[in-house]
Amino acid sequence: MAQTYSGDIAKDVLSGIAITIFIFTVSIYLPIIGFFCAFFIPLPILFYRSKLGRKRGGIIPAVVVIAMLAISGRISVDIMFFIELLVLGFVLSELIELNLTIEKTILFAAGAVLGTGFAGLVVYSGISNIGIYTLISNYVDKNLELTMVLYENMGVSEENIAILSSSLKKIQYALVRIIPAMVIATTIFISWTNLLLARPILTGKKLFYPDFGLLNLWRPPEQLVWGVIASGGMLLLPSGAIKMLGLNGIIVFMTIYFFGGIAIVAYFFDKKKFPRLLRTFLYSLIALQQFVLLFVIGVGFFDTWLNFRKIGIKKSD
């Protein structure tokens, strides 16, 4: 009996390692699809940590890190990104056991990942003897060059390639300065996505999952409006540094209000009983069309005053 139990644990550990390494391999070898596959790396770590416990579950990310280094052949900013995804999955499982609110769960998970990521970047910068700003600038420049090569292979017209090539310096300048907001926004998005995807998996295996309530009724805290107003005000000031600070703030707040907008969309999908196929199409439209995406963000923002779902209002009122 004990041998069977030990065998099941070993099987789960090996399965977790294999699944995570597979997602990692797809992420680095498939240019476009792989980028989105990387977002799901925390999910198997979260699941097997919840199933096996802290010590046994911790074996999986430890082995996967070694495998990542063996596959890539060196430590790089990209590998640090993947390692932080492993950290995120493990931290999310730890926070799930604490039975916190969804806001605290996302906040603490993102904080842990951003904190360890920045510390890792400082250490890597010291080892490579390159300043953090130069390190990030070189990384952005390298990825822009790879993007241009990808566009050429995809058959983008030479005219468009020339236009993009002439604008690379300006694009790099802007990207380097909004990297903080992009990192924060991406961390929040991946945390939220994996937390939602973990729900049917954990409950299906009869593992603990917090009762976050009806998430289609979730709305951002009203106090965030002042952050948006302050960030918008910074964009009007003449100082370039302050403008960039305001732009970073706008990007982060837009991410939060996107989730508020998606909650409203999901609420009305449920209320009107939209078929699953139609929901999938509309969600895909939101993801692919920038104007629709901005509309959803606007809905989440103005819900602070308009209260589209009439939360807290009785029918008699």
What is the predicted pLDDT for the residue at 153?
Answer: 74
Spatial contact of 195 and 102, defined as CB atoms under 8 Å apart: yes
Question: pLDDT class for 18, splitting at 50, 70, 90?
Answer: very high
Mean pLDDT of 57-64: 94
Spatial contact of 121 and 80, defined as CB atoms under 8 Å apart: yes
Domain boundaries, the chain: 1-213, 216-311
Q: What is the CA radius of gyration of the chain?
A: 22
Spatial contact of 132 and 121, defined as CB atoms under 8 Å apart: yes
Spatial contact of 260 and 300, defined as CB atoms under 8 Å apart: yes
How far apart CA 136 and CA 298 sit, in angstroms, is 31
Q: Cα-flanking dihedrals φ and ψ of residue 130, to 5°?
A: -130, 135
Question: pLDDT class for 4, splitting at 50, 70, 90?
Answer: low
How far apart CA 131 and CA 115 sit, in angstroms, is 18
Spatial contact of 305 and 228, defined as CB atoms under 8 Å apart: no
What is the predicted pLDDT for the residue at 139?
Answer: 86
Tell me the pTM.
Answer: 0.89
What is the predicted pLDDT for the residue at 3?
Answer: 53
How far apart CA 221 and CA 140 sit, in angstroms, is 34
Select from 280, 283, 294, 271 the least CA-distant residue to 216.
Answer: 271
Give pLDDT tens digits for 202-226.
999 999 999 988 888 999 999 999 9
What is the predicted pLDDT for the residue at 158?
Answer: 75
CA triple 156-138-132, angle to 5 deg: 145
What residue type is 46 in one-letter code? L
What is the predicted pLDDT for the residue at 314?
Answer: 61
> Which two tokens mark 254?
């837009």
Give pLDDT tens digits for 113-124.
999 999 999 998
Is residue 76 pLDDT above 90, yes or no?
Answer: no
- Where would I find the H helices in the chain? 2-29, 33-37, 42-52, 54-72, 77-98, 102-128, 132-153, 158-166, 168-204, 224-234, 240-271, 276-288, 290-306
How far apart CA 274 and CA 309 sit, in angstroms, is 17
Spatial contact of 220 and 255, defined as CB atoms under 8 Å apart: no
Select from 36, 181, 193 the least CA-distant residue to 102.
Answer: 193
> Could you identify the residue written with the tokens 């709305």?
219
Lowest mean pLDDT among 34-48, 240-254, 282-296, 302-316: 302-316
> Which two tokens mark 217?
């009724």
Q: 296 CB contacts (<8 Å, ≥6 apart)?
A: 258, 261, 262, 265, 286
Mean pLDDT, all residues of the chain: 89
Q: 305 CB contacts (<8 Å, ≥6 apart)?
A: none
DSSP states along 70-134: HHHSS--HHHHHHHHHHHHHHHHHHHHHHT--HHHHHHHHHHHHHHHHHHHHHHHHHHHT--HHH
Give pLDDT tens digits for 130-172.
888 888 888 888 888 877 777 777 776 777 777 777 788 888 8
How far apart CA 103 and CA 28 sit, in angstroms, is 31
Mean pLDDT of 163-186: 87
First to last CA, the chain: 62
